[in-house]
Structure 1
Amino acid sequence: MEFRLLGPVEASAEGRPVGLGHPKQRTVAAVLLCELGRAVPAERLIDRVWGEDPPGSVRNILYGYIGRLRTALADCGVPGVRLTRGSGGYLLEADPERVDLHRFHRLTAAARDGDDRVALLRQALDLWRGDALSGLTGAWAEATRARLADERLAARLELYDASLRLGHHRELLPELRAQAAAHPLDERAVRQLMTALYRGERQAEALELYEATRHRLADDLGVDPGPELRGVHQRILSEDPSLAVPEECGADAVSVSEAPVGAGDSGPPADSALPRVPAGLPHVVGGFRGRAEEIARLDALLPPDPGPATEAAEDPAGAVAIAAVCGTAGVGKTALAVHWGHRVRRRFPDGQLYVDLRGFDHDSEPLRPAEAIGQLLHGLGVARERIPADGDEQVHLYRSLLAGRRMLVVLDNAASADQVRPLLPGAPACQVLVTSRQRLSGLVARDGAQPLVLGSLTPEAARAVLAAAVGEDRVAAEPEATDRLVRLCGALPLALRVAAAQLVCDPGRPVADLADELGNGDRLAALELDGDPASAVRRAFTLSYRALAPGPLRLFRLLGVAPGPEITVPAAAALLDTGERKAAGLLRALDAAHLVESPRPGRYRPHDLLREYAAERARAECGVAERAAALERLLAWYLRRADAATAYGYTPQVRLERDRAGDSAFAGRDEALAWLEDERANLVAAVVRAAEAGPYRTAWQLADELRTYFYQRRHLSAWEDAAQAGLRAARQGGDPLGEAAMLHSLGTLYRHTGEVEASLGYHRSALEGYRKAGFAEGEAAMLCNLGTLYDDMGDMRRAAEWQDRGIRMFRTLDRPGLLGPALSNSSAVDVQLGELRRAVDRATEAIGIYGRQETSSGTVTAMINRGQAHRLLGDPDRALADGRAAARLCRELSQRHNEASAHDLLAQVHGDAGRPDAAFAHAERALEIAVETSTPKDEADALTTLGELHRADGRSDRAGARLTEALDAAASRGLRRQEAEAHVGLARLRDGSRAYEAAAGHAERALAIARGQGLRLVECRAHHALAALCRALGDPERAGRHASRARHIRAETGYRPARLG
């Protein structure tokens, strides 16, 4: 068996491809293969596959991927290749020689010490089939692909060095040309090509290559060739004998990479006769990384290059190109401006001017325009004593000197458009680059500036900044700690550079130690350097904060009180206790100052470190009472809006009595759902904050109000965070009814994540809590929920007992709205008990209740259960009608939690009728939704249906894989009915392949489970399977007994097995 990562991620066994699934599942495989033989914790897998924004159901999705990969590997039957789970995480075991990446590493390591270096490196490079991890996306895949590309390039360059030492320059020349063309800024590749050209008697071509590279380095990076490339150039010029082909090509020959630079080589001589050209840009900050998109946008603003042989032709009607680079403190505005200025300086042959306008300076006032023009004129060569005293004359002289010249003017750290406007040249051949923490909207509107707003770096660029400062090896040794440090710095360049400086100054300090300090303490205090207060992140923020007017200043402080990542205009109005119009204006002011950003109209968010700074300012400048009042207003607003939004089909079925003031109604269900989706993170954060600081009652009330929304939309992670926080709040506040409601919520949650024992415990505690509090509706609901839980566990007799008690209690209470769900859920139990007629009656009664109450959301489950009963009674037309209606309602009502079951029913109906294409389409859709919504029960059902469809279609290998997956998923989660169903499917499959002993084992296990749990229809199917097996084994007496029992169950229940039944 072979695994391939150096190209598309693939596997094969005995020359046949092994399916590794879709890209996300292949990414899981790739991570495990990269970490071959080492346990990978689930948290690391999740981070590498989904990055910083995993879905709420990510653990269950991961479980499904692992299960399918395990099945795919097991089906290959290759000894020593297996995927297991231990205490440390998931472990993929295989001989490293089966993985091309590990073979590559072994071969390149051997080449470093071996005599056959060229052959080993050729073998290593021949393993590559394109870009590594081709087809995979995400931060980890991109970073790994880039790292491996660097390794591939390093190996190729090592190969070329070794080959050149052996005198193979003629054979290498085509490869070296291609390599230099692909990497024109790689000086080692250029050195190798120059050496090969020189040895091939193409000295002029080698020197031309050097000149072209020197110009490219200057134009693109603003740097000169390094000493090694200059050394090769000098040796060619002087026809250094050491550069010629050695007479005896061996290990002692001088390498192009090792040759010393000539002592006299100090670069081109200075020409003192050249006129003075201003070069005022500050030095380039080392380690600049990322910003490719922003650099491309600045490049697009460059004036046309007239070429070296023509003068700069000016269009008298043209305008000066102005770029306004704006962003929050520490985001790297100046670094970008200086880097870009050096990069394009050859496009401005008349020079570059730079002035720091000190718009945000801790120790100085902003530079007045007259002072700035004085500095610019001095940079143009005007003696200070010749600078006019009159401001208008200064501007006239400045613009006159720039006329007809191609110059770059960098105006850094501007306070306002008014400060910048007098400094704009009049010459269209010039370009102006302005940086500011303000948005400079006036400069855009009146002067045609092109705005460029800088945000935080991408995670990849942020890691590259750290690697450039502290060393690639140090970062690579602690990848998880590095990623955590990037997150804690918010990918803000200033914060990253401060963190990197701390690591550079303390070479023995682990990256994880600094990440822990930032994560567990005062981040802003940790992001300071001893002896350099100007570099502190807090100081940078303070300059922007102090520049605010009083209104925006107060709002910014109170943003430190607000929970959640974002805030809307109405929420800000509640926080401030003011009108929405005023709140909108204040938010726009903060946005203009880049203290918040607006990802979408009407929504604002501060950078993580700015949020922490705002909280710090709130603690220092707002009293306890002011902070508490602001928080309570905001939490009350969230609760009112949640009450209004959940009224559109998301109202909890069991609702505690409380005052619901409500809020202005939403326009309809879609708008209400959109609000809940947009505000989900804020709502959960509000619950958590209220559980920490109070009011405790608001915490559990808000969590309870969101329960049905979380359930229907399957936001399981958010649900757990809110319910656990609500439980803490109810206990802290001494509220037994609130505690019971949170126990109820958690019990329902863990039922749907397949954590049966936890769910059972929470439900029993909730039942006791409701009973003690005298809340009869809650007590009846818990009776029904416990019945549904026993249904999931496959114990149908106990399920029916609990649900019947709950139904009787709801009838006594005369609560039809709560009786409907109870009847619907009990009809599912009736199906498994074989009470098919009663299942139809109860589901139909539930549908009628929902219809009279005009609440269609509950109708779906009842339709699915009734459709399944119709199918098993041999009425496919009614089953199909119910299935289609249920699937349609799921789409209309966005009911993801029921959609998998609707598609599974339709798959079975189409399979029974011999329509395999439609059946497979619905079954695959059911499985996809079950995995996405993290519903193990639905996943196991869909896998079993797919297995049965493959069996009926004659594809036994695929049938076995799916049914084994279903069995594993069910058995690991205690889903006894699904486990028995999978055993029946495997028994039929093994019977068909004449593996009678294995088939009998599966059938007997299915029968034992069915009898123990009251699964009458599964029991019937197990008897059918055993009867067929006994006939095949020549035991007609036992076959007859099993067939008789199957007939008895069919007669008693009305069950009419179809093609898949």
Structure 2
Amino acid sequence: MSDQDTELAEPGPVSNRITGGVFTGPVIQGRNVQVILPAEVTPAMTGMPAPAAVFTGRDDQVETLLKALAPGAESGAVLVSAVAGMAGIGKTELVLQTAYRALRATIWLPGGVLFVDLFGYDPDRRLTAADALLGWLQAIGIPGEQIPTAEQDRSRLWRSVLTAYVQQGRRLLLVIDNAADTAQVAPLLPADPSIPVLVTSRHTLDIDARQHNLGVLGTGAAIRLITEVVALRRGDASRLREPDQQQAMTELGGLCAGLPLALRIVAALLADRPQPASLAALLRDARHRLGRLARRETSGEIAVRAAFDLSYRHLTRGQARLFRLLPVNPGPDISTTAAARLADLPSGEAIVLLQDLHRAHLIEEPATDRWRMHDLILLYANSQPPKARDEADIGRRRLFTYYQDTAAAANTHLNPITTTDIANFATRDHALAWLDSEHTNLIAVCTTAPQHRLPESSIDLALTLGRFLELRRYFGDWITISNIAIEIYQQIGMESAKGTALINLGNALRGVHQLEKAIAAHTEAVDIFQQLGNRHYEGDALNSLGATLTVARQFQRAIPAHTKAVAIYRQLGDRYGESRALNNLGSALQQGRQFDKAVTAHTQAVAICRQLGHPHGESRALNNLGLALREVRQFDKAVAAHTQAVDIYRQLGDRHGEGRALDHLGSALAGAGQFKKALTAHTEAVDIFQQLGDRHYESHALTNSGATLDEARQFQEAISAHSRALAIYRQLGDRHSEGTALINLGNALRQVRQFDKALTTHTQAVAVYRQLGDHHGEGRALNNLGATLADASQSEKAIIAHIQAADIFHHLSDRHGEGQALGNLGLALVEVRRYEEARDHWGRAARAFADSGDVASVSSICRLLAELPPMTDDG
């Protein structure tokens, strides 16, 4: 290549000329530097390590980085790409793969690649920018004795040389690896905007660069990495691909938490001994996992802990203290406020330290103002010895106290009988938002507090969180923490508190339809309070027992339980307790088809709450009153009751209550034949629950909307609503509600004569309830299946389904359900001209309806009987 003169067009009177690669100190001080490169300079490949033969899961990132290397990419783009991430995440490997791919596949870099490892986190090998510049200048042919001593002078010379390279058609790529801070990198960056640069660091550096934060590998990529490395080392990895090894391979990927360094160590260990299950068992113990994620290679030991050590040593005292304390939080992430309480720091100081750790990629920010650690870094932080005695224990107590106090403040916005805490939370929505964000942490505190000798944290939160967990339908969590509280109370002999925890446990079990266990828990609570002579809590336990018995459709037991609770509260002068018991009594009476009595009970509950000035209780009682009024077909009064409930909830700012009341209002309006207004109310309810993120009540509102559309004979729209509700229930894993949605959808499909789909849907509903052991649901599903079979002219199958349904309801002592099944059975028998059997079953149906107090249904059966052909002489 011939010599070329390159003029750097900087203004000024001084011009210096450099030829043949000979440079002197005084030259560097000139304003204009003219560089003449040596006659022969080979492409710059000095010092770049070879890329790994196995590389998976990063193709998208490579493509992104490659685009920034293309000539012309500098137009309006930043050509410096900074790849940041935690130790062992694969930053160096990513840029090496990108650099080699660019060299092999393109002609973008005729000057080659210059690589430098700055060892920014290794105090023994760390390079200064001046050291790096010296190495690079020598690498491109500048004699060492002619290279300036001062860093600034080396940087100016370096930029002049790079510009000369570009102008002579020798564009190259700079790879700057393992930079710890901006000071190490800034002097190495070119002035010429056409020269691309790849920088890696464990920190997010303050340089003019496009940032690329590297995350962990997904499960599939992690398993491929392990398998392919083993295949390369052993020549065969078929053992790892066998089906019986997949569970262990998946577990290994999880134990490494997707960290490439850990995955490569695991692969090396498997190459020595390909026993995934044994290795997984070895790594399963969190106490020793980091120590076992190490392997001796010819180049030295490769270990995850050693990589983390270098990052930890880079921290200031304050950063290191917070880093050690963060694992004290038992949940998956922590808020800035909670971290400040944990470390006993002002919020402003805490956020600075958290941001420092985030820039160092020792913590992640999964959401605004929330922080978490990678699993292996969490283990590493947990293993660091404290600098002060009881550092973790004292921090844990501060943190748990913060969670307890704040949860109690939030609960005041959910509990209608407490004074609302506005110091912590201005509104109910703010309180719910905090509870939602801290839900997992709060449950983790409950479950871990006893092992840290802080049982009071479990007890307090178990009692505080019940209303929130019920509202959000986190019944599994509620069961867990209630059992923990019961065990603690049992150990310390606090029978009264144990009884309260049993009430909570029963309520939670009711939410997941474990009704026998729920009834047992509530019954035990009643017995405890009776033995203690605690009448008030006895009333609470009876009220909860009655509610569970109502769900179990044991109305003959539920009604007396609520009636006794009402009497207790009246004797005690507890008017609000009386209103709650009346409200529940009304619901039991309504579902037991004693509608007039139900209306009376709910009306009394409304009156008491109004006298007490208790709007939450009033609105709840109004909603239940409206439901009872609908059953006696007093739709105008039902609409008025639900409308009042909507108004109260709106005045209270209770969006959730407003949504429920609107949904009930829609059903009452549909009963009154005002379908347009009804659908508007249902739609408003759906919108509210969507905004609140409450999927369960959203699907409930969709179900009621579908029912209204059925009544309005808008069957296609009804099918759509029921299908949406079904999809949500399945996503939520709510099998009982899924069964109801299947029945509703099947009935809508039946109306448009899509019998095959309807039969499939009803058959699925039967299967769901059988799997759940819900006999009442099974009876309902069989009854609807039978009706659909009859419409599809499959009368014999319909008869079998209705007989099965009638038998189930008979054994459950559900006379009304039995009457419905027997009535449908009679219709199916008539279709096959089995009139005498139909007459017999309709007679039984009439008696069942009479026993349940359903006079209208008795009349309907009598009309059917009258239309039958007369009995024959031998009949």
TM-score for both structures, normalised by structure 2 = 0.79
Q: Distance in 2 between matches of 1:799 and 1:460?
A: 53
Q: 1:957 aligns with which of 753, 756, 775?
A: 756
Q: Which moved more, 1:1008-1017 or 1:603-612?
A: 1008-1017
Shift in CA distance, 689/745, structure 1 to aligned 2, threshold 3 Å: same
**Contact conserved, 2:685 with 2:701, CA < 8 A, in 1?**
no
Displacement of 1:504: 1.2
Q: Which moved more, 1:934-943 or 1:327-336?
A: 934-943
Q: Distance in 1 between matches of 2:576 and 2:551?
A: 23
**Contact conserved, 2:134 with 2:154, CA < 8 A, in 1?**
yes
**Contact conserved, 1:575 with 1:631, CA < 8 A, in 2?**
yes
1:532-578: per-residue Cα shift (whole Å, max 9, x none)? Answer: 76521111111111111111111111112222111111101111112
SS of residue paired to 2:410: helix
Displacement of 1:289: 1.5
1:413 equivalent in structure 2: 178
1:347-394: per-residue Cα shift (whole Å, max 9, x none)? Answer: 2111211111111116x1521222211111121123334433344443
Shift in CA distance, 622/942, structure 1 to aligned 2, threshold 3 Å: same
Q: Distance in 2 between matches of 1:699 and 1:1057?
A: 57
SS of residue paired to 1:452: strand
1:785 equivalent in structure 2: 544
**Contact conserved, 2:120 with 2:178, CA < 8 A, in 1?**
yes
1:551 equivalent in structure 2: 318
2:115 equivalent in structure 1: 354
Displacement of 1:702: 0.9
Displacement of 1:787: 2.5
Q: 1:495 aligns with which of 249, 262, 280?
A: 262
Q: Distance in 2 between matches of 1:584 and 1:305?
A: 40
Displacement of 1:290: 2.0
Shift in CA distance, 470/847, structure 1 to aligned 2, threshold 3 Å: farther
Q: 2:563 aligns with which of 804, 810, 822?
A: 804
Q: Distance in 2 between matches of 1:1030 and 1:319?
A: 80
Shift in CA distance, 440/796, structure 1 to aligned 2, threshold 3 Å: same
The structure with higher relative contact order (CA 8 Å, sep 6+) is 1
> How many pairs were matched up?
763
**Contact conserved, 1:1024 with 1:1043, CA < 8 A, in 2?**
yes
Structure 1 residue 329 and structure 2 residue 95: aligned?
Answer: no
Q: State the identity %.
A: 31
1:938-989: per-residue Cα shift (whole Å, max 9, x none)? Answer: 3333333333344444443333333333333334434343233233323434
Q: Distance in 2 between matches of 1:804 and 1:939?
A: 33
TM-score for both structures, normalised by structure 1 = 0.66
Shift in CA distance, 732/359, structure 1 to aligned 2, threshold 3 Å: farther
**Paired residue type of 2:847:** R
The root-mean-square deviation of aligned C-alpha atoms, in Å, is 3.5
Q: Distance in 1 between matches of 2:858 and 2:707?
A: 14
Shift in CA distance, 355/796, structure 1 to aligned 2, threshold 3 Å: same
1:602 equivalent in structure 2: 369
- Residues 605-1004 of structure 1 correspond to what in structure 2 (within 5 A)? 605-617=372-384, 620-623=385-388, 625-649=390-414, 651=415, 664-731=423-490, 735-771=494-530, 776-846=535-605, 866=625, 868-875=627-634, 882=642, 883-885=663-665, 892=688, 894=692, 903-905=702-704, 907-908=706-707, 910-912=709-711, 914-917=713-716, 919-993=718-792, 995-1004=794-803
SS of residue paired to 1:744: helix
Q: Distance in 2 between matches of 1:678 and 1:419?
A: 40
Q: Which moved more, 1:816-825 or 1:410-419?
A: 816-825
Q: Distance in 1 between matches of 2:406 and 2:581?
A: 29
**Paired residue type of 1:911:** D
Structure 1 residue 384 and structure 2 residue 139: aligned?
Answer: no
Shift in CA distance, 378/646, structure 1 to aligned 2, threshold 3 Å: same
Shift in CA distance, 497/832, structure 1 to aligned 2, threshold 3 Å: same
Displacement of 1:684: 1.6
Q: Distance in 1 between matches of 2:218 and 2:821?
A: 57
**Contact conserved, 1:792 with 1:937, CA < 8 A, in 2?**
no
2:25 equivalent in structure 1: none
1:450 equivalent in structure 2: 210
Q: Which moved more, 1:741-750 or 1:560-569?
A: 741-750
SS of residue paired to 1:455: coil
2:230 equivalent in structure 1: 470
2:61 equivalent in structure 1: 294
Q: Which moved more, 1:905-914 or 1:976-985?
A: 905-914
**Contact conserved, 1:348 with 1:408, CA < 8 A, in 2?**
yes
Q: Distance in 2 between matches of 1:592 and 1:931?
A: 41
2:221 equivalent in structure 1: 461
Displacement of 1:624: 5.4
Q: Distance in 2 between matches of 1:1017 and 1:872?
A: 14
Q: Distance in 1 between matches of 2:389 and 2:627?
A: 60
Q: Distance in 2 between matches of 1:756 and 1:889?
A: 29
1:239-295: per-residue Cα shift (whole Å, max 9, x none)? Answer: xxxxxxxxxxxxxxxxxxxxxxxxxxxxxxxxxx98522212211022122223332
Displacement of 1:835: 0.6
Structure 1 residue 276 and structure 2 residue 42: aligned?
Answer: yes
Q: Which moved more, 1:321-330 or 1:737-746?
A: 737-746
Structure 1 residue 304 and structure 2 residue 64: aligned?
Answer: no
SS of residue paired to 2:177: strand
Displacement of 1:934: 4.2
**Contact conserved, 1:947 with 1:959, CA < 8 A, in 2?**
yes
**Paired residue type of 2:138:** H
2:305 equivalent in structure 1: 538
- Structure 1 unaligned residues grouped into runs of 5+: 1-272, 307-313
Shift in CA distance, 909/602, structure 1 to aligned 2, threshold 3 Å: closer
1:257 equivalent in structure 2: none
Displacement of 1:711: 1.5
- Residues 119-518 of structure 1 correspond to what in structure 2 (within 5 A)? 275-280=41-46, 281-304=48-71, 321-345=79-103, 346-361=107-122, 364-405=124-165, 406-441=171-206, 443=207, 448-471=208-231, 473-477=238-242, 478-507=245-274, 509=275, 511-518=276-283
Q: Distance in 1 between matches of 2:738 and 2:79?
A: 59
**Contact conserved, 1:836 with 1:869, CA < 8 A, in 2?**
yes
1:134-154: per-residue Cα shift (whole Å, max 9, x none)? Answer: xxxxxxxxxxxxxxxxxxxxx
Q: Distance in 2 between matches of 1:755 and 1:392?
A: 75
**Contact conserved, 2:416 with 2:617, CA < 8 A, in 1?**
no
1:775-827: per-residue Cα shift (whole Å, max 9, x none)? Answer: 54443233233223333333322232333333333333444444444434433
SS of residue paired to 2:462: helix
1:60 equivalent in structure 2: none
Structure 1 residue 582 and structure 2 residue 349: aligned?
Answer: yes
**Contact conserved, 1:912 with 1:1058, CA < 8 A, in 2?**
no
Q: Distance in 2 between matches of 1:563 and 1:675?
A: 17
SS of residue paired to 1:403: helix
Q: Distance in 2 between matches of 1:907 and 1:852?
A: 37
2:27 equivalent in structure 1: none
Q: Distance in 2 between matches of 1:429 and 1:900?
A: 57
**Paired residue type of 1:1024:** G
Shift in CA distance, 401/300, structure 1 to aligned 2, threshold 3 Å: same
Q: Which moved more, 1:813-822 or 1:671-680?
A: 813-822
1:204 equivalent in structure 2: none
